[in-house]
Structure 1
């Protein structure tokens, strides 16, 4: 009879410990910053840089290091495979998080968000096109500046 009592006491102890661990985990979940609070998507948009996006770490249950991603409209999301994503993002875009219809991508040193269901190839093409346009704008600005300088020298000379 005492074996049954001991078994019940051990079982109750295990259940209490499991419940306490779950409560502690929920309690230690990071707070959601104001910019990351979920908001409705009024119109699905293409890819856009997300200047608020990034990672942070904290110590969770038993002081284990945890990596969280947070972005505009994306509450903190646990990222279990952070080291492998950190390596992959240098060569190809990787999806970091998904919240509703929105998705966040990490490529090179920037974060992007979208709500149209793009794939990694689409994200790569968009980023490369954006870089080409930026370089073209810079080249055009330099050319115009040089032309204006040349006109000023001619007028003053």
Structure 2
């Protein structure tokens, strides 16, 4: 086969000095229509910050069973309480999707190409948890006619503001003509 993507997974053995800090971002209003993704939009987002989005993790969430056979998922990600060790914690698909959703909700990108992701979890996301998702634009640039944006997305417990995860993403938001 052809290698289409690479992944590296590991445990951070150091102190969690890189834990994100809560920002007082404005909560995204229901029905919000984002501005079109342009260099001007990303410049403004870099200066003022993005709008915070909220998502709830539950067994009813469409990403709760991302395997064709939910029983094949690791026990800590399943919701079958009868199974020893079953926890119903949010899976990586949900965590990383929070990053995609808030990115696309702050700047209308159609189409966009997700190029790279780096992420770190700090705490499990339990069933019923409301997750506050905050985005900061770190960089935006043009290369070979493509428009790129780099964002940092931080997930927090909406109730206690404890950091849950951090995600760094790079995307092409406008393909060269």
How high is the TM-score relative to the length of structure 1?
0.25
More strand per residue: 2
Structure with the largest fraction of helix: 1
Normalising by structure 2, we get a TM-score of 0.23
Structure with bigger gyration radius: 1
Higher-RCO chain (CA-CA 8 Å, sequence separation at least 6): 2
